[in-house]
């Protein structure tokens, strides 16, 4: 019997090859991670950082890589950049206790400013943007399926249950959408990566200093004007040089 | 019983001891300091912490007559300390108008003597006081300095002077600029009297500490709004009980007093605000304007590398301390410095006259020998110059650290290793996972995919279908009408097929079936009612004549073939098919669905 290469078979073949490539790790990511670990434990954090940063530059956006990079940067005394890495890892895996611990420890070590959160914002930050998106869309589908059942089913008890499921799924989807929006709002977050940056009243080098931002402070960028950015640190706003901060989301 | 006597004895000893230990003090005052002839003023000499003081020999000026003296003793225990005072109240009746000074005089208690200053008292003629004038109440603004520097503190007082009119206690202050001037809360000073244009006025003063925020000229023209009591409803004059009840019911629906709001505008006062000079401004100037002192404390001074040292800086004085920035400390790379934090004042007694700043620094190595000298600058508005206060250097003894810079330890109770780096305990590196996520894998952008519209559409379609189903169940007339259209379409197709084949019998059987089913369902007719008369009646009055004629011809043709054995030609069959199609189309298009 003669086999023909239909589009479906070709697609299956391509996907299978991609899966194999993923499974066998052709880029040597695992080896690179192990090498970075060895360097870190040999007190060569700068070289370990470089390896982790190479992985990130290659397109890997994994909380483990960011977390380990944060540790390496912290060990080499780059407090601000360590906070960037920990913060990035926390955005990807916000419930990870190790990431939360190291992020908090790094911020407290530098007496840095970190944004305060309201109770509902802390609730949103228990799930990552990716999780919130995935769960939210799942709830969206379940909710509408329940609506369809409630509309189309003739049995009243089934319809009642379906309406309740639809309501619960809808509320959960709204909560997830709010969480995603919250995470997107945090895209403007940056970290002060140079020690003791003076936040000034105006974007001028001789403007009066309003307050000082220690290295590792997490700030929100409000406005950019030339080489100056207006940042908000908790409740205060001031102008600092743009090269003194680094965005968390890259 | 014996215990009680012992307690009393101890109390007596304690009271005597506190009285003996305290240093006596004497105060002298005269109230009121403005009066009309015939009124009595009281000169009060108060002796504190002196039991049984001698009666003073008060010099009485010529315009007064001493009409009596009342000694008064008060004993208070404040925070466990006995405070006793004896007041001698001399009642002096004013005999003549003029400005008099009561005192100065010397008061002796044993071997100690106190020189008491004179107090000036204005006495006006009784006839002048009784003369009614148009202005019974006026507002007046006073500022302690007509020219100030930016952020320099000054006193701003608004006086309410009134005579011959009774005013409410509540006073509203308005008209002060809302920007450019920072005012602390207004405080009412003790009431007093004052002679203005030969008239004695009662004076209430509201005072605030102010500060200009920008240079330039500010015109101050405050307005006082106060309610004047113009009468009382049903008052029995002079009754103290009535007065008591009026006070009790004030500002309640049972208040019997009639009031009128009086707006008093003070004469404008121009305040000139000068900018701080830029020349000679020290680098350590952080915004303090006023008279300041500065203390610095460093502790501990003997630490090991990595241990914190707290630098406490206290700024005191009459200055704009609430906006003073902490002094910037540049300790160089030898120290890791934490952010300076402002410490709230420990006691409530010194709210705005003291600012405390703390900074924690950590020596990086044992070569550090001292914290260098620290400077604080402020602007002295009295002299118009910047002043710099320097404290230190502060010697330190730094011991080398006992641990290495980074030590990996295993903590109990968790699989995660701990690493101590720069004195901070961090969780160790995470194990390499079997799979890594790529940035492109993230599904948070899934929201832009239109596929998520599908469930909404599906639910909508299901909803429409369910609605149609329910209507079909609950509305049989509508259901038959909907079914009629489909039946007509099928019948017409069957008729076309029969016509093509030239089958006369089946053609007319199908035509009859179509006739009864279509018109029966279309007009909800009962079985047997599908004749032209019922159909035309169901169609209503606006039926076209050709439709009426076609209906009757079709009905007759069916009867002729079915019951009379007629054999129509194919042309007749075709014409009758067209007639049936025409009638159906007319019904579908022209009649209500």
- The pLDDT, as a whole number, for residue B416 is 40
List the strands of the sheet with B424-427, edge to edge.
B406-409, B418-421, B424-427
DSSP H/E element including B218: strand B216-220
Residues B324 and B294 sit within 8 Å (Cβ to Cβ): no
Does the pLDDT at position A107 exceed 60?
A: yes
A161 touches chain B (CB under 8 A): no
| B436 CA: distance to closest CA in chain A (Å) | 6
- The pLDDT, as a whole number, for residue A124 is 93
Q: What is the CATH number of the domain that holds A92?
A: 1.25.40.10
Does the pLDDT at position A182 exceed 80?
A: yes
| B341 CA: distance to closest CA in chain A (Å) | 10
Set of chain B residues whose Cβ sits within 8 Å of the Cβ of A43: 405-406
Helices A45-57, A29-41: axis angle to 10 degrees equals 160
Q: B323: which residues sit within 8 A by CB, 6+ positions away?
A: B151, B287
A233 touches chain B (CB under 8 A): no
- Residues A46 and A31 occupy one common structural domain: yes
What is the torsional sign of CA A142, A146, A147, A151?
positive
Alpha-carbon distances, residue A41 vs A2, A30, A68, B171, B419 (angstroms): 59, 17, 11, 74, 10
- Residues A93 and A27 occupy one common structural domain: yes
Residues B452 and A143 sit within 8 Å (Cβ to Cβ): no
- Residues A18 and A103 occupy one common structural domain: yes
Interface probe for B, chosen from A39, A111, A124, A142 (most Cβ of B below 10 Å), is A111
Q: What is the pLDDT of residues B128-161, one digit of tens each?
A: 444 544 447 888 999 988 899 988 889 899 999 8
Does the pLDDT at position B302 exceed 90?
A: no
Structural domain count, chain A = 3
At which of A168, A186, A204 does a domain end?
A: A186
Q: What is the pLDDT of residues A67-98, one digit of tens each?
A: 999 999 998 889 999 999 999 999 999 999 98
A64: helix, coil or strand?
Answer: helix
Q: What percentage of chain B reaches a pLDDT higher than 70?
A: 82
| A145 CA: distance to closest CA in chain B (Å) | 7
Residues B233 and B239 sit within 8 Å (Cβ to Cβ): no
The reply to whether A117 falls in a domain is no
| B466 CA: distance to closest CA in chain A (Å) | 5
- Residues A137 and A157 occupy one common structural domain: yes
- Residues A172 and A193 occupy one common structural domain: no
Nearest residue of A to residue B420 by CA position?
A: A75
- Residues A71 and A151 occupy one common structural domain: no
Number of other CB atoms surrounding residue A66 within 10 Å: 27
- The pLDDT, as a whole number, for residue B349 is 45
Nearest residue of B to residue A34 by CA position?
A: B432
Does the pLDDT at position B563 exceed 90?
A: no
Q: Is residue B96 very low, low, confident or very high in pLDDT (cuts 50, 70, 90)?
A: confident
At which of A142, A161, A186 does a domain end?
A: A186
Is pLDDT larger for residue B171 or for residue B340? B171
- The pLDDT, as a whole number, for residue A20 is 59
Q: What is the CATH number of the domain that holds A199?
A: 2.30.30.40
Set of chain B residues whose Cβ sits within 8 Å of the Cβ of A145: 455, 459
What whole-number distance in Å separates Cα of residue B13 and Cα of residue B80? 14
Arithmetic mean of pLDDT over chain B: 80
The reply to whether A12 falls in a domain is yes
B385 torsion bin: left (phi>0), alpha (psi -120 to 50), beta (else): beta
- Residues A95 and A27 occupy one common structural domain: yes
Residue ranges making up the domain that contains A35:
7-109
What whole-number distance in Å separates Cα of residue B470 and Cα of residue B464? 10
The reply to whether A161 falls in a domain is yes
- Residues A83 and A11 occupy one common structural domain: yes
Q: Is residue B16 very low, low, confident or very high in pLDDT (cuts 50, 70, 90)?
A: low
- Residues A225 and A210 occupy one common structural domain: yes
Q: What is the pLDDT of residues B436-482, one digit of tens each?
A: 877 765 554 555 678 888 899 999 999 999 888 888 888 888 888 88
Residues B31 and B46 sit within 8 Å (Cβ to Cβ): no
The reply to whether A33 falls in a domain is yes
At which of A44, A74, A109 does a domain end?
A: A109
The reply to whether A116 falls in a domain is no
- The pLDDT, as a whole number, for residue B406 is 39
Average pLDDT (B163-172) is 81
Are the beta carbons of B421 and A62 separated by less than 8 Å?
Answer: no
User: Which of A17-31, A149-163, B64-78, B351-365 is predicted least confidently?
Assistant: A17-31
Does the pLDDT at position B180 exceed 70?
A: yes
- Residues A15 and A99 occupy one common structural domain: yes
Arithmetic mean of pLDDT over chain A: 87
Does the pLDDT at position B413 exceed 50?
A: no
Does the pLDDT at position B2 exceed 80?
A: no
Set of chain B residues whose Cβ sits within 8 Å of the Cβ of A152: 462-463, 465-466
Q: What is the pLDDT of residues B156-165, one digit of tens each?
A: 999 998 887 8
Q: Is residue B405 very low, low, confident or very high in pLDDT (cuts 50, 70, 90)?
A: very low
Q: What is the pLDDT of residues B476-526, one digit of tens each?
A: 888 888 888 888 899 999 999 988 888 888 888 888 888 888 888 888 888
Are the beta carbons of B428 and A148 separated by less than 8 Å?
Answer: no
Does the pLDDT at position B351 exceed 80?
A: no
Set of chain B residues whose Cβ sits within 8 Å of the Cβ of A215: none
Residues B276 and B289 sit within 8 Å (Cβ to Cβ): yes
A214 touches chain B (CB under 8 A): yes
Nearest CA to B357 out of B403, B402, B391 is that of B391
Q: Is residue A162 very low, low, confident or very high in pLDDT (cuts 50, 70, 90)?
A: very high
Q: Is residue B411 very low, low, confident or very high in pLDDT (cuts 50, 70, 90)?
A: very low
- The pLDDT, as a whole number, for residue B415 is 33
What whole-number distance in Å separates Cα of residue B439 and Cα of residue B462? 38
- Residues A175 and A194 occupy one common structural domain: no
- Residues A180 and A205 occupy one common structural domain: no
Set of chain A residues whose Cβ sits within 8 Å of the Cβ of B281: none
């Amino acid at each position: 019997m003669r086999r023909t290469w239909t589009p479906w078979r070709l697609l299956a073949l391509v996907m299978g090859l991609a899966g194999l490539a993923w499974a066998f790790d052709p880029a040597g990511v695992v080896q690179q991670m192990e090498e970075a670990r060895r360097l870190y434990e040999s007190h060569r954090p700068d070289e370990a950082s470089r390896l982790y940063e190479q992985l990130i530059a290659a397109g890997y956006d994994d909380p483990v890589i960011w977390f380990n990079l944060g540790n390496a940067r912290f060990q080499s005394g780059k407090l601000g950049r360590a906070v960037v890495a920990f913060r990035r890892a926390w955005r990807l895996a916000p419930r990870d206790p190790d990431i939360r611990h190291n992020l908090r420890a790094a911020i407290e070590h530098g007496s840095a400013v970190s944004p305060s959160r309201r109770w509902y914002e802390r609730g949103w930050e228990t799930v990552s943007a990716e999780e919130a998106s995935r769960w939210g869309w799942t709830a969206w589908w379940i909710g509408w399926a329940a609506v369809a059942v409630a509309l189309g089913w003739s049995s009243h008890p089934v319809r009642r249950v379906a309406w309740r499921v639809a309501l619960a799924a809808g509320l959960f989807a709204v909560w997830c959408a709010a969480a995603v929006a919250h995470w997107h709002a945090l895209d403007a977050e940056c970290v002060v990566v140079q020690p003791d940056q003076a936040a000034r009243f105006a974007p001028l080098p001789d403007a009066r200093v309003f307050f000082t931002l220690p290295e590792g402070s997490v700030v929100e960028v409000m406005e950019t004007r030339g080489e100056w950015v207006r940042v908000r640190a908790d409740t205060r706003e001031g102008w600092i040089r743009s090269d003194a901060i680094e965005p968390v989301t890259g | 019983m014996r215990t009680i006597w012992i307690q009393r004895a101890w109390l007596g000893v304690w009271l005597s001891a506190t009285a003996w230990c305290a240093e006596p003090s004497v105060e002298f005052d005269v109230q009121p300091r403005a009066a009309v002839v015939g009124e009595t003023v009281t000169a009060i000499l108060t002796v504190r912490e002196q039991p049984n003081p001698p009666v003073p020999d008060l010099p009485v000026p010529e315009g007064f007559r001493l009409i009596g003296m009342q000694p008064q003793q008060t004993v208070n225990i404040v925070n466990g300390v006995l405070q006793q005072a004896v007041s001698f109240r001399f009642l002096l009746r004013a005999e003549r108008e003029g400005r008099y000074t009561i005192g100065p005089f010397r008061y002796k208690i044993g071997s100690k003597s106190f020189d008491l200053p004179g107090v000036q008292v204005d006495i006006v003629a009784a006839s002048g006081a009784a003369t009614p004038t148009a202005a019974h109440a006026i507002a007046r603004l006073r500022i302690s300095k007509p020219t100030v520097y930016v952020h320099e503190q000054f006193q701003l007082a608004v006086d309410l002077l009134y005579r011959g009119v009774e005013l409410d206690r509540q006073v509203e202050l308005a008209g002060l600029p809302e920007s450019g001037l920072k005012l602390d809360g207004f405080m009412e000073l003790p009431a007093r009297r004052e002679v203005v244009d030969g008239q004695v006025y009662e004076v209430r003063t509201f005072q605030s500490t102010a500060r200009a925020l920008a240079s330039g000229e500010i015109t101050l023209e405050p307005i006082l709004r106060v309610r004047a009591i113009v009468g009382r409803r049903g008052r029995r004059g002079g009754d103290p009980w009535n007065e008591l009840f009026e006070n009790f019911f004030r500002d309640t629906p049972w208040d019997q007093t009639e009031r009128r709001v009086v707006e008093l505008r003070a004469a404008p006062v121009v305040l000139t605000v000068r900018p701080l000079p830029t020349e000679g401004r020290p680098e350590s100037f952080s915004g303090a304007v006023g008279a300041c002192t500065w203390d610095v404390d460093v502790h501990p001074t003997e630490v090991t590398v990595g241990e914190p040292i707290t630098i406490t800086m206290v700024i005191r004085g009459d200055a704009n301390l609430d906006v003073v920035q902490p002094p910037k400390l540049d300790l160089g790379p030898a120290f890791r410095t934490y952010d300076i934090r402002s410490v709230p004042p420990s006691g409530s007694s010194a709210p705005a006259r003291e600012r405390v700043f703390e900074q924690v620094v950590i020596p990086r190595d044992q070569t550090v020998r001292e914290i260098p000298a620290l400077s604080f600058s402020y602007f002295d508005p009295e002299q118009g110059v910047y002043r710099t206060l320097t404290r230190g250097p502060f010697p330190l003894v730094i011991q080398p650290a006992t641990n290495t810079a980074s030590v990996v330890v295993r903590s109990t109770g968790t699989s995660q290793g701990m690493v101590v780096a720069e004195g901070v305990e961090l969780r160790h590196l995470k194990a390499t996972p079997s799979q890594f996520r790529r940035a492109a894998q993230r599904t948070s952008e899934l929201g832009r995919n239109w596929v998520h519209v599908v469930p909404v559409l599906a639910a909508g379609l299901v909803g429409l279908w369910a609605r149609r189903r329910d209507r079909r169940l609950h509305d049989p007339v509508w259901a038959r009408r909907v079914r009629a259209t489909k039946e007509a379409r099928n019948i017409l197709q069957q008729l076309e097929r029969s016509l093509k084949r030239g089958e006369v019998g089946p053609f007319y059987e199908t035509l009859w079936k179509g006739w009864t089913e279509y018109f029966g369902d279309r007009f909800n007719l009962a079985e047997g009612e599908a004749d032209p008369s019922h159909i035309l009646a169901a169609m209503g009055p606006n039926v076209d004549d050709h439709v009426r004629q076609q209906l009757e011809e079709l009905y007759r043709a069916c009867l002729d073939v079915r019951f009379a054995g007629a054999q129509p030609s194919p042309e007749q069959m075709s014409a009758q098919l067209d007639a049936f199609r025409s009638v159906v189309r007319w019904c579908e298009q022209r009649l209500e669905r």
